[in-house]
Structure 1
C-alpha cells in the first residue's frame, strides 16, 4: 500500500513539473528529469507537498495584490518549482503568457526569504517588463513600503543591485529542499 501511495505521489509530482515546464520562458528552465539520482525523490516530494508550498507563496501573491487598487492588478498566477541550477536564479516572471506566471524556486532560498522573491517577481509582473530600471525600482519600492520591507531608492547605475532586491540568502544545495531534506520549515504551514 505504501508503494502505491508513493507511486501516486511520484505521478502527481511528475505531472506538476510537466505543467510548469510549459509556463517557463523555456521548458529547460524546469528540468529535473535528467537528474537520474534525484528525479524520483523530487517528483515524489512535490507530489506530496507542493499544495502546501503553493498555498504559502499564493498568500504572498495576495499580499502583493493588496498594495494596488483592484483595477490596477494584473491577472497573475504563481507556482513553486525547481529551476535548473544552470540558470542561477531564484525566480522568474513570464510576462509573455496570459495569465502572467511567476515561478519561484523555493529550494534556492530559505522559507523566510520566499516573500522577498515573490515581491521581486511581482514587481516584474505588475510592470509587464523584465528590466531592473527606474520604473521597476519605483514599483518595487511601492511594494516594499506597503509590505514592511526595506524599499530601494532609485539612483543611476543600480540595476545590478535591483536584480537581487530584496536580498535573499541562497541555500547551499537547492535540491535538498526538493527531495525533502531541507524542508523542515514548511511543516508548520497549513495544507
Structure 2
C-alpha cells in the first residue's frame, strides 16, 4: 500500500527527504489527531496513532484507517493535498477510527459532523446516499504530482 517509485533516483530522493523531514510532518499530523481527540471526552477516545506515508497511486486515496490494529492506525499521504487540507483528511479517517468501521453510514455522518463543527470545518449535509457522498468529505483538492512533496518540491 505504501509505494514511492520504481525509479531509483526518485526513490533515493524521497527516502532522503523522509529521513530529514518525517518527524516534522508527523508532528503536524499528531497535532491534527489531538485536535480530533479534544472533540471527545477522554473516556470516549480510542487509542489511535497516525503517520505520514506516500500511498500507492493506484489506490487514489489521501488517507487510510486500519481499524483492525490496536492502536488504530491512520496513514495520510500528505503529498496528495496541500497542508491546509491535512486536517480534513485526518478528520475523515479519525471518524472511521472512532466508530471502528470502514463505512460511510449514519454513525460515520454523526461523528464526522461532530468533528467538523468542533474544528471549524464545514459539516456535511444529510444526503439520501451517504456512502458515496461522504467518501470524500471534507473535500480536499488533490495535487497534480503527489510525489513532489515527498521529494521536497513544496
Same fold (TM over 0.5): yes
How many residue pairs end up in the alignment? 154
- Corresponding residue for residue 108 of structure 2: 136
Instruction: Specify the structure having the higher radius of gyration (Cα).
Output: 1
Mapped to 1, the partners of 2:140 and 2:34 lie a distance apart of 20
The Cα of 1:170 is off from its aligned counterpart by 0.1
Mapped to 1, the partners of 2:94 and 2:86 lie a distance apart of 12
What residue ranges of structure 1 are gaps of 5+ in the alignment? 1-28, 183-191
Tell me if structure 2 keeps the 8 A contact 1:138–1:154.
no
- Corresponding residue for residue 138 of structure 2: 166
Q: Is residue 13 of structure 2 the alignment partner of residue 49 of structure 1?
A: no
Backbone CA RMSD of aligned residues: 1.0
- Corresponding residue for residue 175 of structure 1: 147
Mapped to 1, the partners of 2:126 and 2:99 lie a distance apart of 16
Which of the numbers 39, 46, 59 marks the counterpart of 2:31? 59
Question: Helix, strand or coil: the match of 1:168?
Answer: coil
Q: Is residue 58 of structure 2 the alignment partner of residue 78 of structure 1?
A: no
- Corresponding residue for residue 156 of structure 1: 128
What residue ranges of structure 2 are gaps of 5+ in the alignment? none
RCO higher in structure (CA 8 A, sep ≥6): 2
The Cα of 1:133 is off from its aligned counterpart by 1.0
Which of the numbers 83, 99, 103 marks the counterpart of 1:127? 99
Mapped to 2, the partners of 1:141 and 1:35 lie a distance apart of 41
